[in-house]
Structure 1
Amino acid sequence: MYKALLSFIILIGGCSMTPEKYSNQEPKMDFKEYFNGPVQAWGIVQDWKGDVLQRFDIDMEGVWNGNEGELRETFHFYDGKTMKRKWYVTKVNDTYYEGKADDVLNTATGHIYGNAIRFNYQMELPMNGKKYKVALDDWMFRMNDGVLINRNYIKKFGFKVAEFTIFMKKKN
């Protein structure tokens, strides 16, 4: 029984989603184009059970100089708090991006294919007066009409402890 369970866990663990599987999906994700100029977003944070912990709106503004970009985010939480973050993003090639931010502990690595981009990074997440080091598995999917859906899985010791869901709309 133990061997069968272990084999099942290894099999399931090896079946992770990769951005390459979205190579033929439309509309194509052009990260530089989408995050150039203003973007409005709305989101929630849920715990591992699905309970909503926070709701927020985000005002974003992206500016690019060649393959170097700065994405400014202002989070407006429904409890009245505000948080700002600046991402410094580099387009390394057509399918690979890197990003840094003050609360990100390593270089975020992003792979883009078709309508999807996946970033992986670690950050210190403030919660209840403490900071927790967590890993983020950050997926964005380009939709029609300037919409982007962002699913961000927050993991500690390899287990999902929370997730963000964010809906973005590019402003004209």
Structure 2
Amino acid sequence: MKSMVSTRSFLPLRRAGVWLALMGMLAGCAGPSVQEYARERPELDLRQYFNGPLLAHGVFTDRSGKVVKRFTVRMTGRWSGDEGTLDEHFVYSDGSTQQRIWHLKYLGEGRYTGRADDVVGEARGQSAGNAFHWNYVLALPVNGKVWNVSMDDWMYLMDGRTMLNRAAMSKFGIHLGDVTLSFTRE
């Protein structure tokens, strides 16, 4: 007896199954949760660390890992209660300069938001233990155009003076490069 259902009718289900399997694998590749660092010390309090003068040195690497630009940042943080500003002054290896002023807000339980003129919308982040993770969209000038790039930004407090920072940049889910910084409290 011949089956009344053709194998062609199962193709959409097979395709859906393949897509579901791929999505599951991608979800398995998701990065760590900030809560995984909850027991790490010293404990990071952004209100304390970003209060006063700081100096940072950094590089931007393209997706192949090649250093495209080096830079230094002099910054000053100031907090009043749960609201703070972080005034950053960048000097790049090509001689160009930039200023970014972050307006930060502590929401309690390690949660923060931030705004800056070149940030699209609001940055949202969470700290736990020695780590801070936040995401935002940066309006980045590239060859006379502005690209809105997603920033997946991680900071790790090493000791009372030093913090390391790595931010992965992407657009449409495509990895563009990374920004790596070392902060030092002055």
**TM-score by structure 2 length?**
0.86
Match of 2:25 in 1: 11
| 2:65 aligned residue (50, 57, 60) | 50
Equivalent in the alignment of 2:115: 100
Q: Secondary structure at the match of 1:13?
A: helix
AA aligned to 1:166 is L
Q: Write the mapping of 1:1-172 to structure 2, written as runs, cut at 5 A.
A: 7=21, 10-14=24-28, 15-171=30-186
Counterpart-to-counterpart distance in 1, 2:184 and 2:27:
33
Deviation digits for residues 24-55 of structure 1, max 9, x if unmatched? 00111110000000010000001111111100
CA offset at residue 160 of structure 1?
1.2
The structure with the largest alpha-carbon Rg is 2
Indicate the residue corresponding to 2:3 in structure 1: none
Cα distance between partner residues in 1 of 2:86 and 2:149: 22
Shift of 1:118: 0.5
Quote the sequence identity (%): 36
Distance in 2 of aligned mates of 1:94 and 1:125:
31
Give the match's secondary structure for 1:106: strand
Q: Please tell me the residue identity of whatever aligns with 1:88.
A: H
SS in structure 1 at match of 2:134: strand
Taking only aligned residues, the RMSD between alpha carbons, in angstroms, comes to 1.7
Cα-to-partner distance string for 1:103-142 (whole Å, 9 max, x where unaligned): 0001100100000001111121112221101111010000
- The one-letter code sitting in structure 2 at the alignment partner of 1:60 is M
- Cα distance in 2 for residues equivalent to 1:8 and 1:167: 36
Q: 1 CA distance for matches of 2:133 and 2:99?
A: 22
Q: Higher helix fraction: Structure 1 or Structure 2?
A: 2
Amino acid at match of 2:51: N
Once the two structures are TM-superposed, the CA of residue 13 in structure 1 deviates from its matched residue by 2.9
Structure 1 residue 94, shift from structure 2 partner: 2.8
Amino acid at match of 1:100: R
Separation in 2, partners of 1:22, 1:96: 15
Offset of residue 17 of structure 1: 1.4
1:6 Cα deviation from its structure 2 partner: 6.4
State the AA in 2 paired with 1:115. N
Q: Cα deviation per residue 1:48-99 (whole Å; 9 max; x = unaligned)? A: 1111110000001001111100000000101111100000000010310000
Report the secondary structure of 2:79's partner residue: strand
